[in-house]
Amino acid sequence: MTYIKGMADLHTHSRFSVDSDADVFEMIEKAVSLGLKAYAITDHCEVNRWYTEEHYGGTKIYPYFDFKSDYERSVGYISGIKERYEGAIELLCGIELGQAQEEPEIAQIVVDDKRIDFILGSVHQLPQTEDFAFLNYGDMSQAEAEELLERYFTQIDKLCAWGKFDSLAHLTYPLRYYIKNGIAVDLAKFDCIIESALKRLAQNGKALEINGSGIRQGAGMTFPVAKYAKMFRGLGGEMITLGSDAHYVKDVGSGILEAAKEAKSAGFDRVVYFKERKPIFIDI
């Protein structure tokens, strides 16, 4: 576990994501140069913004729309170049599916797409609320911050009840922004709802992602930390995926070793990657 060689980075973005300009081939070449065994491009697909802005009328609470088009561009492209890397790396065609619990019928289109190897399930945004990336934290009271977190974990619980993804992405995602803005919250008060979500995840035979982005972004922790991976394991969870959440070439593989250490300290001796939606284990 000292080397990244032979590991897997299952959460990265390319120019087909609204928040990345990264060249697909440069991302893959970086993954190959690190000696990764498996590497997934998981561009954003926010299913609650599947259509164009016109479709949603006046309810502009989110700056990006038309994820149907982004999704088709990403999956069409990545699935078409996979063969080129055979023997060099296991290149996987993934997708980061946002808010599937809000639009299960649209999410089902993605679930049924046979070109996809791996689906991350994410919550970035609460109903009728901006993405956590765009909220105004300067004016936010402690009570508001905690209320938002409670709503976040409730949506995570709903997402896990829907459960048609492969791995739950960056559990505790709001902390990425809370910590940056000096908001400290004791997550223990949400342990009950988190436990409910992790139990559903384990019962559905799904994986939990440990996301390494917080290490390079200043949070000083993975999302989630080992405590929740351990809780997941205690509830019968067997699979962990690791992801850098890289939006730039330089960040491919970033935080993967730290994430693997969290998995190890939670009692996991191996992690997984998904090919054609089926898990393949790697020792850590």
Residues that bind Zn ion (CB under 5 A): 96, 122, 245
Residue 124 CA to chain centroid, in angstroms? 10
Pair 261, 210: CB distance under 8 Å: no
> Encoding tokens for residue 2?
């000292």
Instruction: Kindly state the smallest distance separating residue 94's Cβ from Zn ion, in Å.
Output: 10
In this complex, which beta carbon is closest to Zn ion, that of residue 96 or of residue 166? 96
In this complex, which beta carbon is closest to Zn ion, that of residue 103 or of residue 238? 103
Instruction: Kindly state the smallest distance separating residue 96's Cβ from Zn ion, in Å.
Output: 5
Instruction: Kindly state the smallest distance separating residue 141's Cβ from Zn ion, in Å.
Output: 26
108-137 burial string, b = 16+ CB within 10 Å, else e? eebbeeeebbbbbbbbbbbeeeebbeebee
In this complex, which beta carbon is closest to Zn ion, that of residue 96 or of residue 117? 96
Q: Where are the alpha helices (DSSP H) in the chain?
A: 24-33, 67-81, 104-111, 142-162, 175-180, 191-203, 213-216, 226-234, 256-265
In this complex, which beta carbon is closest to Zn ion, that of residue 122 or of residue 241? 122
Instruction: Kindly state the smallest distance separating residue 19's Cβ from Zn ion, in Å.
Output: 8
Instruction: Kindly state the smallest distance separating residue 148's Cβ from Zn ion, in Å.
Output: 16
In this complex, which beta carbon is closest to Zn ion, that of residue 9 or of residue 96? 96
Pair 122, 49: CB distance under 8 Å: no
